[in-house]
Each structure stands twice: as structure tokens, then as C-alpha cells.
Amino acid sequence: MNWDDESAPVTTTGDGDRLVKAAADGDDRAVEAALRPKDLGEFVGQERVREQLDLVLKAARARGATADHVLLSGAPGLGKTTLSMIIAAEMGAPIRITSGPAIQHAGDLAAILSSLTEGEVLFLDEIHRMSRPAEEMLYMAMEDFRVDVIVGKGPGATAIPLELPPFTLVGATTRAGLLPPPLRDRFGFTGHMEFYAPVELQRVIHRSARLLDVEIEEAGAAEIAGRSRGTPRIANRLLRRVRDYAQVKADGVVTQEIAAQALQVYEVDARGLDRLDRAVLGALLKLFGGGPVGLSTLAVAVGEERETVEEVAEPFLVREGLLARTPRGRVATPAAWAHLGLTPPGQGPTGPGQQGLFDR
């Protein structure tokens, strides 16, 4: 894969030696790419989306036609990019990768579309962040495989129609609600990616461990899966860090005890909270008595930008039931007090005393 040019076409064929070389070079991004499943049979989880997508692709191949446009939505790290590559592999087509923020002008999109070959898959990540002119050009390209290129300005401007070969657009978004209905309606198939259950993440971890030549026990995989926030990308990242710890501090075998010790070193607690998550909860509880407190004030208290707290920490804390968003501000839940081993104001200590975060 050409990581330097996101609009460059890439093939989906894998090379077994690439993973070994990437691991030896310490290139985590290349390792992550090499760990991606190559077909729907290898892809773990998302059973409903996989079943529906399999029908779409098999029907297109039977007709000898280009697959319908596909929209994949869901949180980061759930496999949207991987599925786009699998779509290309299943259709026997090359894939071209770009992103919404990279397309700021209609001309940028026209240049990409005009260079596509018949049947090629165009993966457009963060599609909701495209500029409006490019978005409007995409409507006609998706529906009629044609774009109008405007030449000149003012009254003398001329629209030159440009025919495009049939292609498949795979759009990925973390915020499907921001897509305008005319764009959303032009996708023939829409799949929503759900967070993974721990047992599914264990399968992901065991597969990655085999590819990385890491010896891991079932309890070790379960320990990592439980701290992976329901996200395969995080599970693979934590596996690599636990592997490092096991190689340096132990005999290389990932047990439950080794995994727990390693993740304590990397500040990932038993529920998957990292340093930023705990800083946000700690400030909310210790400085503001559990809230309510405004987002900007909370961000200043932890020394982070407002957007970082809102987009990185909050979604997981809300999903875990540790934080609530209210009209008056952010409020900690009883579970947050219990998780940090603190006593809410006005209540006497009950049960065990203050406990360390990693002892819970």
C-alpha cells in the first residue's frame, strides 16, 4: 500500500513476508495493515453486515456487473477500511483510497474520478467532511457515471460532460447523521458497524497473535479483549504492547497475569480507560464534586482541548455509563465514583476504602 499518496490505486493482494518485515522494522502502521483480513471469511464479527454484503457482492459477480455503492458507518477502528479492501478483493478490482478532508474542491474529485478504471473501487473515508461543491459533483457521478467539468467563468463558462467508467464508491463515516439525504440515498447498500463483544475480540486477538507469532493463553486474550473498548484496532494495538512486555519482562508467553501487568504499565485499566479518560473522570469528581460542569471548564481542568475531550474521551465514558451529558453540563454517574474508588459528597465511606485503579 502506498501510504504517502492516499489517492493512489492499491491492490488488495497480501504478501506474507510484509508482516515479518514490518514487525522487524517496528512499523506499527504497516503491521496493522498486514493484520487486516483479506476476505469476508477471515473477517471476524459484524455478522449481519457481512451476510448482507456477501449477498450484494455475489449477486454483482453473477451478473458480471459492478457492485452497488456501499456506505459503512460506525465508530473508528471497527473495520470500515478493511471491509472496503475486502470488497475490492471479492470483486477482483483495484482500490483507490482517499478521504473527505483531502477533497476541498470539485476539481480534486474530478481528477480522481476521471482516472478510475472500469470496476475500480473508490474508498472515500470520512465522506461527511467533503466540501459542498465536491459533494454535489459526486451525486451525478454515483448515479449517472458522469461529471460536468466547468470551463471558464461568468457568462462565458461552459459545462463539458465527462463520461466515467462504472465504478463502486465505498464511503465510510463516523457521523452518518451529517450526510445530506441526497448523498445517503444514492448508496445501494448501507451497513452500520457495531462495537465488538469481548468473545469476538478474543477471536481477533488469537488471529493476530498467530500472524505475529505470539504465544498467548486464552486467559491472556480475554484480559486484553476486556480492555479493548469493543474495538479491534485497539485490541491489536494492545496485543503488540503486551507482546513487547512479555518479551522483555517474561518468557514471551502472554498469560492473564502478564497481560494485566503490561497494561498497567501502559495505563490501561480493567475497563479500558486510559490516562485521558481517568483524568477527565478524576477532574469531574475531585474538582467539581461530580458536576454538572461545562465541557470547556472540564477541558481546561485536564489541560486538553475541548474537542479532544468531547470526541476522544466522552463517547467511551458515556457508553460505559460513567458520565452523562445534561443540559446543565457533564455529570458523573454513581458507577464513576465506584470505579475510581471515591465516595460521593455527603456520603460516608461504605465498603472497602479508597482503592488503587488497577486493583479493582
Spatial CB neighbours of 228, under 8 Å, sequence gap ≥ 6: 196, 201, 234, 235, 238, 272
* Cell of residue 351, nine digits: 465498603
Using CA atoms, how far apart are residues 28 and 116, in angstroms rounded to an integer? 30
Answer whether the bond into residue 76 is a cis peptide, omega within 30°: no
Q: Any catalytic annotation for residue 125?
A: yes
Number of separate helices (H) and strands (E) present in the chain: 16, 10
Q: Among 125, 269, 274, 277, which one carries the catalytic annotation?
A: 125
Q: Among 36, 50, 80, 227, which one carries the catalytic annotation?
A: 80
Q: Any catalytic annotation for residue 174?
A: yes
Q: Among 96, 227, 233, 330, which one carries the catalytic annotation?
A: 233
* Cell of residue 251, nine digits: 518468557
Q: Among 82, 174, 231, 255, which one carries the catalytic annotation?
A: 174
Q: Any catalytic annotation for residue 233?
A: yes
Q: Are strands 9-10 and 95-99 parallel, antiparallel or unpaired?
A: antiparallel
Going along the chain, which residue ranges are E strands? Answer: 9-10, 70-73, 95-99, 121-125, 146-151, 158-163, 168-173, 189-192, 323-326, 329-332
* Cell of residue 95, nine digits: 482500490
Place of cell 466522552: 314
Using CA atoms, how far apart are residues 258 and 303, in angstroms rounded to an integer? 32
Using CA atoms, how far apart are residues 71 and 56, in angstroms rounded to an integer? 13
Q: Among 81, 82, 98, 168, which one carries the catalytic annotation?
A: 81
Using CA atoms, how far apart are residues 230 and 271, in angstroms rounded to an integer? 11
- Partners of 168 in the β-ladder: 121
Q: Which residues have a catalytic role annotated?
A: 80-81, 125, 174, 233
